[in-house]
Amino acid sequence: MALIEVRNVSKAYRGDGTETQALSGVTFDIRDGEFVAIIGPSGSGKSTLLHILGFLDRPSSGEYRFQGEAITEYSERAAAEVRNSRMGFIFQMFNLLPRASVFENVALPLLYSSVPEKEWDERTRRAVEAVGLTHRIRHEPAKLSGGEQQRVAIARALVTNPALILADEPTGNLDTKSGGEIMEILAALNASGHTIILITHETYTAEYAGRIIGLRDGRIERDEAVANRRTTRDHFMK
């Protein structure tokens, strides 16, 4: 069974007497353990698709099944529980609490999870270690570089051990070197078994994934394996 099944999904937004079609008849599967990049220009439907995949929005028509269950089968409360326990989110803007330490920011999702409190400390420390920031664990975000702040965001996404990590333009606010380091971390997480969906408009970033789904005007224009996946060294040489 696929982790994600999307069948003929469309999404339309209505307002002021007009209708905007953001997605039109999108169909694909994502298997457990894949690293998939969804790429396209502004207005292609990437953000809308991310919101649907992350249970932040619902399609106007079609079917989306996550781990075998359709999103329409969930109440808003149940959908929120799935987001927190089975999905991890990484955003372009980091979204860290400015007055909280690295440890406190990473531990935050555990406050709303079913993970026993006695496991919180160990889980948080393991997640921070996984992104190489143990030496910064008591620092606040203002004392970190942009790349380090994004590492904190990755650790926060990992701490509940989610089935799926959704990364929305994770290198968009970073320089080339820091962006390459973030992509290396995501590639390593995928190599260790994590399923990752990367939203990006950059071809060279998308090529760190094993598969690219290209969107244009709300439709899939290509869905193909990456023949030669990039490495961090490739990124630095650009």
Please give the pLDDT value at position 238. 37
Please give the pLDDT value at position 231. 66
CA 77 to mean position of chain CA atoms: 21
Burial 32-58 (b: 16+ CB within 10 A, else e): eebbbbbbbeeebbbbbbbbbbbbbbe
Q: Domains for the chain: give ranges and CATH numbers.
A: 4-237 (3.40.50.300)
Please give the pLDDT value at position 227. 87
Mean predicted confidence (pLDDT) in 218-234: 83
Asked if residue 25 has pLDDT above 90, the reply is yes
Tell me the pLDDT band of 153, cut-offs 50, 70 and 90: very high
Asked if residue 92 has pLDDT above 70, the reply is yes
CA distance 236 to 11: 38
Taking CB atoms within 8 Å and a gap of at least 24, the contacts of 135-141 are: 136/102, 137/101, 137/102, 137/103, 138/101, 138/102, 138/103, 139/101, 139/102, 140/98, 140/99, 140/100, 140/101, 140/102, 141/94, 141/96, 141/97, 141/98, 141/100, 141/102, 141/105
CA distance 224 to 213: 7
Mean pLDDT (the chain, rounded)? 92
Please give the pLDDT value at position 90. 96
Tokens representing 215 are 């969107």
Tell me the pLDDT band of 230, cut-offs 50, 70 and 90: confident
Please give the pLDDT value at position 209. 96
CA distance 161 to 86: 7
Mean predicted confidence (pLDDT) in 215-231: 91
Asked if residue 194 has pLDDT above 80, the reply is yes
* 221 backbone dihedrals φ, ψ, rounded to 5°: -105, -15
The whole model's pTM is what?
Answer: 0.92
Asked if residue 175 has pLDDT above 50, the reply is yes
* 174 backbone dihedrals φ, ψ, rounded to 5°: -120, 155
